[in-house]
Structure 1
Amino acid sequence: MSEIDNTFVKLRARLRELDIKLWQEPYYHEDVGSIESEMDRLSEQLSGELGISVSNCKCALVELQDSALRKLTARKEFNETGMATFSVRCVDSKGGTVQIIEIKCSLNALGLDLQQEIANRLKLSNASYVKCISAGKIVSSNSTLNDQGLNNNQQLMVIIGSKESTNSSDGNTERGSVLYERIAKIKADIESVVDADGRFFEMEDQDGNAIFLPPNENRSLLMAMGLCEKARAAMRRENYDEALLLLLEADEHFAVCNSQFLESVDNYALLNLDIVWCYLCLKNVTQLPDAQRRLDICERNFERSYGKNLKRIRSIRGSSCPERALIMRLHLLQGVILFHQNRRDEAYEKFEEASQALAELRVDDDQLTRLIDMGYDVADARLALRSCSGDADQAILFINNRREKLNTARADAQTERLQQNRLAADNADQDWVNPRSVCQLTDMGYERGLVVEALKRTKNDIPDSVDLLQFHADELGADLQTTPPADEQLLNILHQLGFPMALVRIALETTQNDMKRSVEFLLKSQSDENQLLQVIDNMSQTLSGNPDDQQQQPTSSSNARPFIDISSSKLQLIETFLTMAKSELESYKAYTRFNEDLTMNDNDYLDLPLIQEEQILIEYKNLLER
């Protein structure tokens, strides 16, 4: 933040206190314009009161007066013509605000019309390259501005990507296209991975325990968390414009999740904290009201998750819990917001809290290097040292104990996830059943089929399910379907396509000999990309009439796949299966792309080096002293 920005903060607040309106007499007369003598007198008065130079005070007052007059003109035009005026601030990660333009557009127009107006002014060929942000939301192209709550004289933030990001080998890449295409690709990859039914993404808590939610809510939450992971990767590269767009997309997915669940975990708090951090790093204060709202949400969620003053988390993790780094960043951002509201005493208190936390969180470089040289990941090492008050020997024990707990929890979760997969196959398009509840009740000695039926009826209420199992088991059993044996012809056909015989039998029995669902089951059971490629090759050869010359192979081997004469209707199905298999392969590739710039550390979100935070803290504390 510059000294002139500090001057504006002071002046705006003082003018409000004195109820001075620069667009009215004696400072402005409609027939004459600005009254320079009065502006000079006011500059002299306020410069002494606020401790700023007369020249800087005069320049700032003139700019504030011009801004007020432009808003009055825009208000008059809006009342007469219905055309709204927007002050559009174009930002990028390299220099914050790079351009400010004025755009006029009817509030009854679609968001796309506003994007097109901005694109025309910026000489962009595609309006989709323009991402407008209003009150913390990306302006939708398909809804009217009025429906989205935009107002006349509103300031908008626009992201189109920096010029540096458009460098390409042919030199013809248009500004804005690179960021637009990158965001679109990231979203498509995350959708592909999330829709792969848990083979790539699985939710767990900080201790490695599986988390299960109803399918629709589970999908929304996984989409949101995937976008947050890519946003943090962009933040590590200091691409805050890209990160902000991804975080705002994630916010839309979080919005459809159960509010009670979001209030019990820290993910939503972290999202809001990261969004405000991006606002700050993009040097943009036009989103100040949204930043205040998000920090309030963050503070409330942290209190629910961690307890007041970290009381709950300290009781679990100890007094030196690494979550303190997040609280430090929260206090710093709260101080910045208070500073821009000219609540300087309150800002000072927040900066002092952040400064104290920063001192406690500092890690000795020699101790950190020692752990890294021993083979520990830098994030694990830093978090462990912070959790153990800088004691390297205790930090080593901390890392090893945490890994052991995670491995144990994840091993236990595997049983529950297997139940999840079986239930997904058994209950397609039916009521969702919580696999953890299935495990809990089967461990009590109840038959799995009866347990699933009871949980369906009670909507996963365990006490009611136990009551049904104890007193109405016969009634539950009457509703269970008898599982037919695997059809031999289908068994051989699917085996011929390259799937293991034992797995084919399970798939057919699970799906009651539904060939299409069996193939879906089998494709999703492939453990790696190479297995999937082999299946695709077998399907292609079967369709071409040359099933790898398998009819020539001896049939005495248990692994041999004798050629089966397949009917034309079954061949048409196999064509469909080939398309499904190729789609599945794309999911593997999407997952590979998704992971390209991610760290594999589970606690990456806690590993804040705090270098930027320290620089910002020093900058704002210096401004407070002036």
Structure 2
Amino acid sequence: MAEQNLEAKLKNLLKQEKIQLWNPPYTEQGQQQGQQQGQQQGQQHMQELAERYAPLLRLPMSEVGGALESIRAQAVKRGRGNQTFRETSVATLELLLPRDAKKDPKVRTYLETRLDVSAQQVVDRVAEEHGLRSIKLILSGRTLSAERRLDEQGVKNHSKVMVLRVSDGELKQQLTEEEEERRSQEESVQRTQKGFQILSERDGSEDPDTTPFLEIADQKGNPLKIPPTEKKALILAMGFHEKGRALMKRKQHDNALCHLLQADQQFRKCGSALLSSVDNYAVLQLDIVWCYRALEALSCLEDGRSRLQRAEDCFLRCYGEQQERLLMIKGNTGREEVLFLRLYLLQSLLSYIEGSDSEARLQLSRVESLYARLRPDSEKMAQLMELGFSEREARLGLRASRGDLQEAAIHISTRRQEREELKQRERQKRRTRMEAISALMELGFSQRDAARALHHADGNVDRAYAILLDSSQDAQATNNNTEGGASPEMVEQLLYLGFERDSAEAALRLTGGDVQSATQLLLDNQGVLSPELLTPPSTSSSSSTPSSEEPSSASSSPEDSELVSEVLEDIAPHEEDYLDLTLEEESELISAMKAYLHREPAHT
């Protein structure tokens, strides 16, 4: 990280003096051709430049000279790459490899390729040349699609592409175990998406004990009315985010980043008004950049900086300029301050890498001030836990009360009471719902139909009854129309096409006498309809189903139930889990930043 900081400072100095190291006198034409005289002249001018800059930066001349040579070599390589690209259309990409795949951390890794090839071809080359298995390519925070061409996905000459490992390539275990682990990790994102897709399609009309569903609520636990399309995207986004956070806790940052980037794509499908009213999107941006840091991929400066800016803007909109909205909703701002601590810490880190030491120190001073106030007081934590409170409650309570022990105890007790009242309201709501379903069943309707009608009537029994009656009448009318609509001529048309009479009559009945639709139905089923479709529908009221745009989720397969249970395990049981940071990782990064920023200047 110190090397990046030094190179950034030198680039700023070179830019101010309009010095181009890839041109004479620093890079002679003869030097490019490998001639001895050109090399000596270029080295002499580079030496003079290092002697001039070293006192300004208060660093050893050898260190400054090495950094200048690295910048010059990169510039020359970039120039040659531009010429090669113009002449042959072969682009040069910089690869940000996993730490353990780098032979020398200080040496950059490049790959030459045409941009009209698929990303899969590049994946195969990287995997072969660097001994990696099961990798993904990330460009500006987006996963490159394996099937699509590079240029179609925004890859350009000199693009920086992050190589993300999604399974362990080391042969530390037996081959069968490793293969199983690889498959498991490759399927993780797909299983997570399918599980939350199932949950997003459930509307809560079924019994939640047997058919779990997710409900989007505000910070007080009140359900939010969201358009169905946005709700599905939001559930998928929040689901991927929860899975990613669970993997971050296990220190599986590469796999976590895959899930977090999927969450980012789903969040982008939501309306801007929705994103600006919740802090989930801002927290996700922080988590993505935190994974960049853990994977030492902060060379993605542009993407990291833009994500932190989006996070800060979102926090300001959600909480208010002075956090007044947050204070009005929650009564305090102490718990959310850990998010700002992480935001300022990452901003300080990026500023340092960009060579802006003064900005990095300013931001770090804000971080240290927040850290001093937010770090857990072990003695007060112990006193609260002796009162029967959990470690999480003690930590969040002390932050909410800014360290006041008595206020913390009151706060925790109040929060417990609020959660218990919310549970009681939910239990009462469920009891009322079951009583209403029983009342409708006594009128001859099935439990499933009663439950769905009640859901669409927002719990109003009279409206649910009206929905059921209308559905029964519509079903009866449809049956009458279809029974009379299948004329002998229509049947003969289908018989002429080679279909059996029973199937032809059933198809016409199911399509309301539409010959074209009936033909398509028969073709889709290879001319043979299932016994259920061949059987004429019952006209009893108990079989009527309220019309709904949502697919029924009552007949979930065992596989669906397994997927749902799997993804629900990764959802944090406590609604403020994302605020419960122990600050251990933050403390380590603060110490590292202080060491970098307060290095003793060397005598030159």
Scaled by the length of structure 1, what TM-score is found?
Answer: 0.72
Secondary structure at 2:51's aligned position in 1? helix
SS in 2 for 1:23: coil
Give the SS at the match of 2:178: coil
Per-residue deviation, 1:234: 1.4
User: Residue 156 of structure 1 aligns with which residue?
Assistant: 161
1:448 aligns with 2:448: no
Q: Offset at 1:486?
A: 12
Deviation at 1:79, TM superposition (A): 0.8
**DSSP 3-state at the match of 2:98:** strand
The reply to whether residue 111 of structure 1 matches residue 92 of structure 2 is no
2:95 alignment partner, SS class:
strand
8 A Cα contact 1:189 1:590, kept in partner: yes
Tell me if structure 1 keeps the 8 A contact 2:334–2:400. yes
Distance in 1 between residues matched to 2:83 and 2:89, nearest whole Å: 9
Q: Is the 8 A contact 1:90 1:100 kept in 2?
A: no
Structure 1 residue aligned with 2:148, among 143, 146, 159? 143
Structure 2 residue aligned with 1:281, among 268, 290, 294?
294
2:347 is matched with which residue? Answer: 334
Q: What residue identity is the alignment partner of 1:50?
A: L
Q: In 2, are the aligned partners of 1:132 and 1:138 still within 8 Å (CA)?
A: yes
Q: Distance in 1 between matches of 2:102 and 2:225?
A: 43
* Distance in 2, Cα, partners of 1:38 & 1:620: 34
Task: Provide the rounded CA distance (Å) in 1 between the counterparts of 2:248 and 2:171.
Answer: 19
CA distance in 2, matches of 1:509, 1:170: 59
Correspondence 1:295 to 2:284: no
Unaligned runs of 5+ in 2: 33-38, 205-211, 438-447, 477-539, 600-604
* Counterpart code for 1:448: R
Deviation at 1:596, TM superposition (A): 4.4
Which range is displaced more, 274-283 or 588-597? Answer: 588-597
Alpha carbons 1:262, 1:268 under 8 Å: kept: yes
Counterpart position of 1:491: none
Q: Which residue of 1 aligns with 2:596?
A: 623
Q: After TM superposition, list the pairs within 5 Å mapping 1:345-356 onto structure 2.
A: 345-356=358-369
**CA, structure 1 residues 50+26, in 2 after alignment: closer, same or farther (shift >3 Å)?**
same
CA offset at residue 414 of structure 1? 7.1
1:543-562 map, 5 Å:
none
Residue in structure 2 matched with residue 602 of structure 1 by the alignment: 575
| Matches of 2:473 and 2:100, distance apart in 1 | 61
Matched, 1:61 2:68: yes
Cα-to-partner distance string for 1:85-138 (whole Å, 9 max, x where unaligned): 11111126999997953222222222223222322323456xxx2211111111
Cα shift readout 1:338-374 (whole Å, capped 9, x = no counterpart): 2222233222221111111111112211222333344
TM score, norm. by length of structure 2 = 0.74
Partner of 2:397: 384
Q: Name which of 15, 27, 50 aligns with 1:43.
A: 50
Alignment counterpart, residue 168 of structure 1, candidates 155, 164, 173 = 173
Q: Secondary structure at the match of 2:322?
A: helix
CA contact 2:9–2:354 (8 Å) conserved in 1: no
Instruction: Find the counterpart in structure 2 of residue 21 from structure 1.
Output: 20
- What SS is found at the alignment partner of 2:96? strand
Q: Which residue of 1 aligns with 2:479?
A: none
Over 3 Å counting, the alpha-carbon distance change for 1:74 and 1:367 in structure 2 is same
- Rounded to whole Å, the distance in 1 between the matches of 2:160 and 2:543 is 56
Match of 1:241 among 254, 261, 271: 254
- Unaligned ranges ≥5, structure 1: 454-478, 488-507, 525-579
Contact 1:314 1:321 in 2 (8 A): no
Which range moves more in the overlay, 265-274 or 16-25? 16-25
- Asked whether the 8 Å contact 1:276–1:291 carries over to 2, the reply is yes
Take 1:178 and 1:594, find their aligned partners in 2: how far apart are those partners?
A: 14
SS at match of 1:264: coil
Could you say which structure has the greater relative contact order, defined with CA pairs below 8 angstroms and 6 or more residues apart?
A: 2
Distance 2:131 2:397 in 1: 51
Tell me if 1:180 matches 2:179.
Answer: no
Q: Which amino acid aligns with 1:14?
A: L
Letter in 1 for 2:84: E
Provide the C-alpha distance between the structure 2 equivalents of 1:96 and 1:190, rounded to a whole number of angstroms.
40
Give 1:60's aligned amino acid.
A
1:613 matched to which residue of 2? 586
Distance 1:43 1:150 in 2: 35
Match of 2:441 in 1: none
Hey, what does 1:122 align to over in structure 2? 130
Q: Distance in 1 between matches of 2:99 and 2:203?
A: 36
CA distance in 2, matches of 1:482, 1:600: 40
The percent identity for this pair of structures is 29
Aligned partner of residue 87 in structure 1, secondary structure: strand
Shift of 1:513: 5.7
Please give the alpha-carbon distance, in whole angstroms, between the structure 2 residues aligned to 1:153 and 1:373. Answer: 59
Residue equivalent to 1:493: none
Structure-2 change in CA distance of 1:224 and 1:586 (3 Å): same
**Aligned partners of 2:174 and 2:384: how far apart in 1?**
42
Structure 1 residues 156 and 428, CA, compared in 2 at 3 Å: closer, same or farther? farther
Cα displacement (A) at 1:307? 0.7
Match of 1:481 among 445, 458, 470: 470
Check conservation: 1:207, 1:409, Cα contact below 8 A. no
Counterpart in the other structure of 1:191 = 197
Alignment partners' CA distance in 1, 2:171 and 2:229: 37
* Alpha-carbon shift at residue 412 of structure 1 (Å): 4.4
Q: CA deviation at 1:428?
A: 13
Q: Hey, what's the Cα distance between the residues in 2 that align with 1:97 and 1:298?
A: 34
Alignment: residue pair count: 505
Helix, strand or coil: the match of 2:363?
helix
- Alignment root-mean-square deviation, CA: 3.8
Question: Residues 96 and 83 (structure 1 numbering): CA distance in 2 closer, same or farther, change over 3 Å?
Answer: closer
Q: Distance in 2 between matches of 1:93 and 1:327?
A: 32
Pair 1:74-2:81 in alignment: yes
Determine if contact 2:385/2:391 at 8 Å carries over to the other structure.
yes
CA distance in 1 between counterparts of 2:449 and 2:346 reads 49
Contact 1:92 1:162 survives alignment (8 Å) = no
Distance 2:189 2:471 in 1: 49
